């Protein structure tokens, strides 16, 4: 395994976990209407999971001799639940892809790193699959469709 390349890949992951922490927490603040009863907790929990992943990845970067980044990926903001879920699905898919890429670089010798990538990668894949199922059950008429949709990046 090439240590420097792995540190770089883990820092890319860390950047997008930070984006997840902010984006999900923002969604938990903004989600409104009847669905808030369920989705405030859903988004809050996803934000906490992103922080937990970020902490594991940051610790591993230092173990490999690197410096964890303080940058974050682009965050999207919306006040429409379906849009929030679509943006969440995009982000989870990106996370799943990044962990799979890191795993492909990992080799067999560093078992702690390998196990971490497998476990978090599975969480990301399951998260993406779960949101895909949520989106299947939703159509515009079901949700806060009356609200203007406003997606922007920060």
Binding mask 103-142 for Fe ion (x = CB under 5 A): ---------------------x------------------
> How many residues contact Fe ion, by CB under 5 A?
5
**Residue span binding Fe ion (CB under 5 A) among the ranges 25-33, 49-57, 82-90, 130-138:** 49-57
95 binds Fe ion (CB under 5 A): yes
Nearer to Fe ion, 80 or 124 (CB): 124
DSSP run (H or E) holding 7: helix 3-30
Q: Which class for 111: exposed (0-12), middle (13-18), buried (19 or more C-beta within 10 A)?
A: exposed
Whether the Cβ atoms of residue 30 and residue 11 lie closer than 8 Å to each other: no
Question: Are the beta carbons of 56 and 116 closer than 8 angstroms?
Answer: yes
Per CB under 5 A, residues contacting Fe ion are 50, 53, 92, 95, 124
């Amino acid at each position: 395994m090439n240590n420097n390349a792995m540190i770089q890949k883990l820092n890319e992951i860390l950047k997008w976990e930070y984006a997840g922490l902010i984006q999900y927490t923002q969604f938990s603040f903004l989600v409104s209407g009847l669905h808030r009863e369920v989705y405030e907790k859903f988004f809050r929990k996803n934000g906490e999971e992103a922080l937990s992943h970020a902490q594991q990845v940051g610790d591993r970067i230092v173990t490999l001799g690197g410096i964890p980044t303080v940058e974050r990926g682009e965050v999207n903001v919306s006040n429409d639940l379906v849009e929030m879920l679509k943006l969440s699905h995009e982000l989870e898919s990106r996370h799943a892809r990044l962990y799979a890429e890191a795993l492909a670089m990992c080799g067999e010798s560093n078992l702690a790193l390998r196990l971490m990538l497998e476990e978090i990668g599975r969480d990301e894949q399951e998260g993406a699959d779960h949101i895909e199922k949520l989106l299947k059950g939703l159509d515009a008429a079901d949700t806060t469709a009356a609200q203007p949709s406003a997606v922007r990046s920060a």
